[in-house]
């Protein structure tokens, strides 16, 4: 049983391995840091300041930032140690969604970062009567700066200490809002113990030690990076916060910080891979040949695979001439990185690991704070194509069903990280949490199976998604149903399916309405032949381009369709040739079947 409270990690850092550079970011081009002692002081002053505002344990305070700040971390610890519930919000959502979250959570205050966030939250405040005031992390005319919350350094902090002593590991620590299939977010209620369990278990697996340098650039509104920050605090690593726009190039933050570790999502690794690949295309002669020769070697890479003789000599040459430069591009000291939120492309995994940059996939959900399985960094504890071994203390079971293949089923999880439930959403909580033999299990909505790996160990392989939400390679959830419904409202569309799982963006497969398209062709003097030929006609393709231009403004940027492919054959519930139908008897799409059938068209959209 893990009895840590999250704010204990900051106190432990000060006591056991105090740092001069605990948390920092770049201000006017210069890196500036808070020490462990300064962070503890700042958190205490913020705690007392929040109490002086009239906040009490159980009250809610929201935050929203594009880029994490050391001040955000101090404020997070400040809330945790006085029982104020922190509600972090995504910076990319709409004012309407801010309004929904602020109203449901009944947040009394909100602290915002730069980049137009103040205006968006201010708009939401007009319809959020519980929100008393908005503070800013950056100076803004007419707005209250967050330092106005801080109590003086020489204050009496006994009121803070009294509440701090009363907080228990099973007390609610935070509400993290995650995407919902109906369009409204759901508030995941996590306790100190939920999150501390993940910190303690993963800290045993991650190759980080006290004094190591960490580069943090993922949003802390997501549970993945939020828990990572607690982990970095716990091990005593120096954390430097930056944005994804500042990572590349000779003057990038990888070069400035020379990190030992960072967390990532597949899309960011893809961007780095693409940048490396494009540099290779710019080479000529022998240098170009060597570059792509080394890239070809990487296609054969696998965990724990040993190369000897001539093959081993080739790898040494490739490492000295090519891969060493890639490591230098990331600062030259990276001991490892974990990637989650969606599946990482195999070519990216092989290439980075072949170059001596250890990348490991892990798996989890916000509802379990978030870890369930992870590929390890020591020999024998990782397997390509899987999301690793089950974390100690977690139990997974594969629930079979008529729609699944042998050995495959929905993944159910029992873990000390399991949420209390969705805030004010008992019905949705009941859908996700099942009671089995008197114990609470999470129905993840993901489909998977166990496969045997090195040393006979069992590794989890994700094979499908049961739930409707898809996730891009950037880790963003997209609900396809509203987009598909709007497309099908148009007279030129018979059927539509949104695709984009683990891809850079979302696109659509569209089956045109043959009659609707015939009518349009007649009206615009386009000679009709047959549907298979017409979907290749440039004028027809332009017309569907215009349809996307009409539909996209109704959705957020991440939900907007970037490309489409027209297909001539309608999707049916019964196939005359006996092949597997694209629709169920109740006319619901069999997404897996459609994805397999049109794999070529989908691949062409993402080339």
User: Residue 147 carries which DSSP code?
Assistant: G
Per-residue confidence (pLDDT) for residue 249, from 0 to 100: 55
CA distance 74 to 472: 31
Q: Quick one: average pLDDT of 237-254?
A: 80
Per-residue confidence (pLDDT) for residue 246, from 0 to 100: 66
Per-residue confidence (pLDDT) for residue 326, from 0 to 100: 92
CB neighbours of 580 closer than 8 A, spacing ≥ 6?
590, 593
Closest by CA position to 219, among listed 120, 136, 113, 147: 113
**H/E element holding 433?**
strand 433-436
Structural contact between residues 211 and 20, judged by C-beta atoms closer than 8 angstroms = no
Task: Give the ranges where 258-399 is alpha helix by DSSP (H).
Answer: 266-282, 285-298, 309-318, 324-329, 346-354
Per-residue confidence (pLDDT) for residue 400, from 0 to 100: 93
Per-residue confidence (pLDDT) for residue 577, from 0 to 100: 73
CA distance 214 to 192: 23
Average pLDDT, the chain: 92
pLDDT at 181 over 60: no
pLDDT at 100 over 60: yes
CA distance 218 to 454: 32
| Omega cis (within 30) before 299 | no
Per-residue pLDDT band for 87 (boundaries 50, 70, 90) equals: very high
Per-residue confidence (pLDDT) for residue 603, from 0 to 100: 93
Q: Quick one: average pLDDT of 264-270?
A: 83
Give the residue with greater pLDDT, 460 vs 556: 460
Where residue 99 falls (left for φ over 0; alpha for ψ -120 to 50; beta otherwise) is alpha
Q: Quick one: average pLDDT of 79-104?
A: 93
pLDDT at 153 over 80: yes
Q: Reading across the β-sheet that carries 133-136, which strands appear in turn?
A: 144-145, 133-136, 109-112, 60-64, 85-88, 172-178, 186-191, 421-422
pTM for the full predicted model: 0.83
Q: Quick one: average pLDDT of 41-53?
A: 98
Per-residue confidence (pLDDT) for residue 488, from 0 to 100: 85
Write the pLDDT tens digit of every residue in 63-78. Answer: 999 999 999 999 999 9
Write the pLDDT tens digit of every residue in 369-402. Answer: 999 999 999 999 999 999 999 999 999 999 998 7
Backbone angles phi, psi at 554, to 5 degrees: -80, -5
Per-residue pLDDT band for 584 (boundaries 50, 70, 90) equals: low
The domains found in the chain, sorted by start residue, are 8-167+220-230 (3.40.50.980), 266-467 (2.30.38.10), 479-605 (3.30.300.30)
Closest by CA position to 385, among listed 441, 347, 433: 347
Closest by CA position to 108, among listed 184, 54, 175, 47: 54
Range from 132-146, 278-292, 293-307 carrying the lowest mean pLDDT: 278-292
CB neighbours of 546 closer than 8 A, spacing ≥ 6?
none
Per-residue confidence (pLDDT) for residue 321, from 0 to 100: 95
pLDDT at 462 over 80: yes
Per-residue confidence (pLDDT) for residue 95, from 0 to 100: 84
CA distance 111 to 131: 11
Write the pLDDT tens digit of every residue in 480-534. Answer: 877 887 898 788 998 999 999 999 899 999 999 898 899 899 989 999 999 999 9
Per-residue confidence (pLDDT) for residue 578, from 0 to 100: 63
Question: Over pLDDT 70: what percentage of the chain?
Answer: 97
pLDDT at 576 over 70: no
Per-residue pLDDT band for 183 (boundaries 50, 70, 90) equals: low
Q: Quick one: average pLDDT of 231-260?
A: 87
Q: Quick one: average pLDDT of 321-336?
A: 94
């Amino acid at each position: 049983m893990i009895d840590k409270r999250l704010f204990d990690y900051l106190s432990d850092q000060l006591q056991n391995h105090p740092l001069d550079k605990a948390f920092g970011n770049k201000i006017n081009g210069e890196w500036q840091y808070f020490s462990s002692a300064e962070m503890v002081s700042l958190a205490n002053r913020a705690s007392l300041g929040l109490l002086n505002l009239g906040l009490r344990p159980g009250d809610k305070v929201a935050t929203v930032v594009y880029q994490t700040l050391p001040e955000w971390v101090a404020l997070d610890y400040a809330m945790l140690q006085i029982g104020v519930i922190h509600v972090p919000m995504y910076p990319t959502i709409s004012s309407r969604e801010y309004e929904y979250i602020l109203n449901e959570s009944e947040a009394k205050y909100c602290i915002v970062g730069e980049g137009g966030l103040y205006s968006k939250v201010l708009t939401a405040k007009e319809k959020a009567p519980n929100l008393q005031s908005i503070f800013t992390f950056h100076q803004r005319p007419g707005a209250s700066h967050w330092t106005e919350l801080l109590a003086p350094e020489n204050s009496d902090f006994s009121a803070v200490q009294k509440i701090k002593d009363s907080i228990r590991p099973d007390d609610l620590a935070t509400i993290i809002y995650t995407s919902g299939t109906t369009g409204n977010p759901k508030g995941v209620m996590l306790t100190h113990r939920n999150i501390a369990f993940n910190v303690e278990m993963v800290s045993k697996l991650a190759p980080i030690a006290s004094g190591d340098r960490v580069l943090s650039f993922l949003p802390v509104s997501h549970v993945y990076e939020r828990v990572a920050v607690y982990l970095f605090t716990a091990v005593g690593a120096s954390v430097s916060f930056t944005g994804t726009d500042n990572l590349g190039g000779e003057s990038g933050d990888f070069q400035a910080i020379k990190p030992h570790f960072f967390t990532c999502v597949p899309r960011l690794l893809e961007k780095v891979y693409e940048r490396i690949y494009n540099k290779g295309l710019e080479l000529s002669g022998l240098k170009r040949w060597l570059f792509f020769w080394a890239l070809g070697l990487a296609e054969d890479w696998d965990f724990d695979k040993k190369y000897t003789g001539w093959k081993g000599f080739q790898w040494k040459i490739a490492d000295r001439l090519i891969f060493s430069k890639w490591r230098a591009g990331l600062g030259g000291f990276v001991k490892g990185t974990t990637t989650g939120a969606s599946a990482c492309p195999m070519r990216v995994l092989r290439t980075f690991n072949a170059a001596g940059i250890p990348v490991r996939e892990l798996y989890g959900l916000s509802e379990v704070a978030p870890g369930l399985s992870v590929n390890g960094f020591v020999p024998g504890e990782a397997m390509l194509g899987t999301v690793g071994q089950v974390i100690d203390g977690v139990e997974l079971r594969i629930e079979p069903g008529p729609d699944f293949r042998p050995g495959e089923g929905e993944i159910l999880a029992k873990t000390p990280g399991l949420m209390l439930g969705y805030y004010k959403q008992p019905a949705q909580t009941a859908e996700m949490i099942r009671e089995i033999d008197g114990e609470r299990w999470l129905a993840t909505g993901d489909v998977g199976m166990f496969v045997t790996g090195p040393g006979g160990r069992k590794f989890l392989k994700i094979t499908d998604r049961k739930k409707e939400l898809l996730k891009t390679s950037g880790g963003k959830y997209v609900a396809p149903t509203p987009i598909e419904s709007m497309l099908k409202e148009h007279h030129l569309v018979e059927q539509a399916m949104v695709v984009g799982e683990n891809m850079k963006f979302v696109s659509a497969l569209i089956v045109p309405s043959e009659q609707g398209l015939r009518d349009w062709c007649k009206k615009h003097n386009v000679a009709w032949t047959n549907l298979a030929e017409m979907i290749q006609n440039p004028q027809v393709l332009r017309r569907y381009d215009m349809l996307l231009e009409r539909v996209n403004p109704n959705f957020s940027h991440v939900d907007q369709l970037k490309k489409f492919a027209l297909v001539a054959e309608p999707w049916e519930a019964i196939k005359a040739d006996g092949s597997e139908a694209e629709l169920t008897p109740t006319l619901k799409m069999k997404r897996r079947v459609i994805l397999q059938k049109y794999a070529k068209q989908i691949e062409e959209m993402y080339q």
